[in-house]
Structure 1
Amino acid sequence: MQSITVHYPASFPLPGMPEGGQVLAIGDFDGFHLGHREVIRRAVESAGRLRLPAAIMTFHPHPREVLGQSKYVRHITPLREKLELFAEAGVDVAYIMNFDTSFSQISPSQFVEELLVKLQVSTVVVGFDFRFGHNVSGDPDILCELAAGRFAVEVVRPYHMDGVKVSSTLIRDHLERGDVARVEHLLGRRYSLSGKVVHGAARGRQIGFPTANIELDGPYVVPMNGVYAIRLEWSGQAYYGVMNIGTKPTFEDAAQRSLEAHLFDFGHTIYGESVKLELLSYIRPERKFASIDELIAQIANDVITAKERIGYSAQKTANPLMNGLS
């Protein structure tokens, strides 16, 4: 997949832009949940039928972040991960629209005239709640009016699961409650975080449960503080364990949250290595223990609980990457 960053106002044709038309899906797509997947699926399907490239336009930073909503400084899927998911979904070209205050001022008509028409789109695919233009004054109906005689517009209806509309806001709410099982259901995949293993205080090793301290490589929405069963990918292998997200109140009640993963049957040194964490199950909230011995006993119980929930056996670790548990 080709990625093209676009700054407004742009000069056309853009370097690397397909000639002769394209089918374009538009949206922020934070989380790339099942509703987003349906929009992309429709675009890829239409592109195949028309024998045109399947393209996507997304916005970075998140529009709501630029417009002052601090909640959106963190993302369910940071840009790098989002682009990987687009490629896996069959997208040929990704336009990353630089969203700044200048771009936020353009009218719906300018958006169509100065971007979509000049991109030579054949079809545009958007979700039912797509908004564009200054003060989010454009919607799918206005897009259809502005597109008349120029390009087709497909509007994808809301995607419901168990009677509830799937949305990025809903997923954020579940992450804030630590409900990673529900998040997996809404995303159609496990929620994951990526980062690098860094040195910590080595307290885990001192109490018999060595941990990998993870420094995230993107502005992720991190789930509620607590202990989780996890799957960790490193160097083409999958490992399982438990991870604490929080401030380590038994030791110091740190000002910043940290992620510390204890892996089962793991003997490697991985400082400086990049890893991917999948959150499998929420086990318990983080708490302050009266003594180190009490903490050790609880971690041992957490390990037992995690192994039971994921059906863990020693054979499951150090196996080549797999989609799920074998």
Structure 2
Amino acid sequence: MEVIDLKLHDLPHLTDNYVVAIGFFDGLHLGHQKLIEEVKRVSVKKNYKSAVMTFDQHPLVVLKGEERRYLTSSLDRDRILEKLGIETLFVIHFSSEVASLSPEDFIAQYIIGLHIKHVVVGFDFHFGNKNSGDVHSLEGHGFELSVVPPVMYDEKVKVSSTLIKSLLHSGHIRDANKLLTRDYTITGEVIHGKARGRLIGFPTANVAIGKYCYLAKGVYGVEVEVKGKRYKGMANIGMNPTFNDIFEMSLEIYIFDFHEDIYGEIMRVFFKFFERPEERFNDVDDLIKEMQHDEAYIRKALDI
């Protein structure tokens, strides 16, 4: 997949014809995948190059200074889009100047100016200064337009990144995975932690969470990928309340039947199911007994 960076005053001159889905695409969930399906349909029918247009950061980070947490990193997004068969990814460098563009100027710069022949958006798409542009603003500019209806979670709620984050926060990992059509995944570096797991018979790999969305605190059945190989194990997300000496969310992985040194390696953690909430135990012995129970249950559930 070709990745083309778009800087407002240094836009490339392109000659290929493109069909492009526009959006932020955090998670690339079922709703987003409907847009991708339409892009691919048009691409085949019209012989256009299939493409997605997104932003290098969430607009509210620039506009309001909000701290945002994401379902997918930019590397995750690129990997998924390539797997879905997208040929080109346009990444707009978002700034206050880009945010202030009128809908007409946005269209002139990023659609007409880039030789885009067909645009695909969701029914509730907004763009331009103060989100003043909508799907109707895209009509009548010489390119074709597909407006994709929502994919519904139930009768009242549509599938969205916000909904999936809510499911993750509340421990409904299986439901979130269904809407993502894959296991929710965190990719991060294996970093040094307190090294307590080794002392109690459960050596863990601490994985940097970065800007990923927080899941419910507790114990999970997981699979991990590290150094090109896949393993099964259990994960704990939380603050380790039994020891009460960690002051930010941590992700610790106990990989079953694994004894390698992987500090500094990049690990992908695939969350399969939520086993139980985080608990505070009266002493370390009680914690060890519960972790033994966790391991037995998760091994059986993961069919080891």
Same fold (TM over 0.5): yes
Cα drift, residue 235 of structure 1 = 2.2
Distance 1:161 1:11 in 2: 38
Q: How many angstroms apart in 1 are the aligned matches of 2:47 and 2:105?
A: 28
Q: 2:239 aligns with which of 225, 240, 247?
A: 247
2:201 counterpart SS class: coil
- Output the CA distance in 1 between the equivalents of 2:16 and 2:187: 38
Larger mean CA deviation between 276-285 and 59-68 belongs to 59-68
Contact 2:18/2:115, CA 8 A, preserved across alignment: yes
Tell me how far apart the structure 1 counterparts of residues 262 and 54 of structure 2 sit (CA, whole Å). 34
1:286 equivalent in structure 2: 278
Offset of residue 285 of structure 1: 1.2
Cα-to-partner distance string for 1:215-264 (whole Å, 9 max, x where unaligned)? 23x41112121111110012222111111111111113411111111111
Structure 1 residue corresponding to 2:135, chosen from 123, 128, 140: 140
Q: How big is the shift at 1:136?
A: 0.5
Query: Residue type matched to 1:110 in 2?
Result: D
Instruction: Confirm or deny: 8 A CA contact 2:4 2:91 kept in the other structure.
Output: yes
Aligned to 2:41: 45
User: What per-residue deviation string (whole Å, max 9, x for no partner) do you get for residues 242-295 of structure 1?
Assistant: 111111111134111111111111122211111100011111111211100000
Partner of residue 114, structure 1: 109
Q: Read off the aligned partner of 1:267 and give its amino acid letter.
A: H
CA shift at 1:160, angstroms?
1.8
Structure 1 position 9, deviation (Å): 3.1
**Which residue of structure 1 aligns with residue 183 of structure 2?**
190
Indicate yes or no: 2:173 matched with 1:177.
no
Aligned equivalents of 2:85, 2:137: Cα separation in 1: 28
Q: Does 1:272 align with 2:264?
A: yes
Q: 1:63 aligns with which of 59, 69, 85?
A: 59
Q: In structure 2, how many angstroms separate the alpha carbons of the residues matched to 1:52 and 1:246? A: 47
In the alignment, structure 1 residue 85 sits paired with structure 2 residue 80: yes
Deviations 1:105-152 (A, max 9, x none): 00000011122101111101111111100110111112114x2xx110
In the alignment, the residues of structure 2 paired with residue 175 and residue 215 of structure 1 have an alpha-carbon distance, to the nearest angstrom, of 18
Q: Which amino acid in 1 is paired with 2:36?
A: I
Matched, 1:153 2:145: yes
Q: Which residue among 89, 94, 97 is the counterpart of 1:94? A: 89
CA distance in 2 between partners of 1:10 and 1:45 (Å): 31
**Equivalent position of 1:167 in the other structure:** 160
Alpha-carbon distance change, 295 to 27 in structure 1, aligned in 2, over 3 angstroms: same
Q: 2:99 aligns with which of 100, 104, 108?
A: 104
Q: Secondary structure at the match of 2:208?
A: strand
1:165 counterpart SS class: coil
Is 2:218–2:276's contact at 8 Å kept on the other side of the alignment?
yes
- After TM superposition, the score normalised by the length of structure 1 is 0.89
Contact 2:190 2:205 in 1 (8 A): yes
Residue 162 of structure 1: how far off its partner (Å): 4.3
3-state SS, counterpart of residue 71 of structure 2: coil
Q: Distance in 2 between matches of 1:129 and 1:181?
A: 27
Residues of 2 paired with 1:36 and 1:10: CA distance?
Answer: 28
Q: CA RMSD in A?
A: 1.4
Give 1:157 deviation, angstroms. Answer: 0.7
Q: How far apart are the structure 2 equivalents of 1:281 and 1:118?
A: 46
Give the count of matched residue pairs. Answer: 303
Output the CA distance in 1 between the equivalents of 2:64 and 2:219: 32
User: Aligned-pair distance for 1:70?
Assistant: 2.6
Q: CA deviation at 1:308?
A: 2.6
* Residue matched to 1:130: 125
After superposition, the C-alpha distances for 1:89-112 in whole angstroms (9 at most, x for unaligned) are 111111101111111100000011
Q: Report SS of the residue matched to 1:35.
A: helix
Shift of 1:192: 0.2
1:228 aligned partner:
220
1:2 paired with 2:2, answer yes
In the other structure, the counterpart of 1:323 is: none
Given the superposition, is the C-alpha separation of residues 11 and 210 from structure 1 closer, same or farther in structure 2, using an over 3 Å criterion? Answer: closer
Check the 8 A contact 2:216/2:237 in 1, yes or no. Answer: yes
Q: Is the 8 A contact 2:6 2:12 kept in 1?
A: no
